[in-house]
Amino acid sequence: MYDYEKTCEKFLEVNCKITDTKEEYDKRNKGIRFPKCNYIASCGHQHIVFINVFFSRKTGSICPSCKSKENAIKKKEEMKDDKLKHLKLELGDKKIQEKVGCIDKVKNVNVFCLWKNNGKINGKLNPKSYDIGDNDYYWLNADDKQLFYVIPEQILIEKGFVGYSGNKIN
């Protein structure tokens, strides 16, 4: 049998608070092989757990529904990583130009500057557009890292973002 005070202490070590009173705890678990207790998990949700399971697995400090949400997010990220690896493999020997965008907070859109450095004029940077054939693909990473775009050069030529002279932001 797990002593009430000691169990409370051990739960508190992982930010979980037993909500049973000593009486409730003792009454429920008297003579029982696998005692249980009610507690508020570190995520703030009420849950009931077998105490031996709580101690043996480290997962109990978060309630099951928060745990499964956490797992779902992890899974999604793994899938995204897999897709990314696959895509990079597929693009293998292609010339890829990576660009990180920034967010225009007024319009709430991602902005990418498709410029390359064209030396300096009078000490000032002189950016110019990429020339046709510079790259096969443009890999645009959104600033928030949630999104990216892989755009074939041809599309950017058609849209006028690659292979023109002068500056243009989009």
Q: Does 66 bind Zn ion (CB under 5 A)?
A: yes
In the complex with Zn ion, the residue whose CB is nearer, 69 or 94, is 69
CA separation for the pair 129, 89 (Å, rounded): 27
Q: Specify the residue, 38 or 141, whose C-beta has the smaller distance to Zn ion.
A: 38
CB closer to Zn ion out of 45 and 80 = 45
157 lies in the binding site for Zn ion (CB under 5 A): no
- Which residue, chain included where needed, has tokens 């105490």? 51
Binding marks (x or -) toward Zn ion, 4..43, rule CB under 5 A? ---------------------------------------x
Q: Which residue has the tokens 């202490």?
A: 9
- Least CB distance from residue 42 to Zn ion, whole Å? 8
Least distance (Å) between residue 30 CB and Zn ion: 29
When the beta carbons of 63 and 140 are compared against Zn ion, the nearer one is: 63
Structure tokens at 105: 């907070």
Residues engaged in binding Zn ion (CB under 5 A)? 43, 45, 63, 66
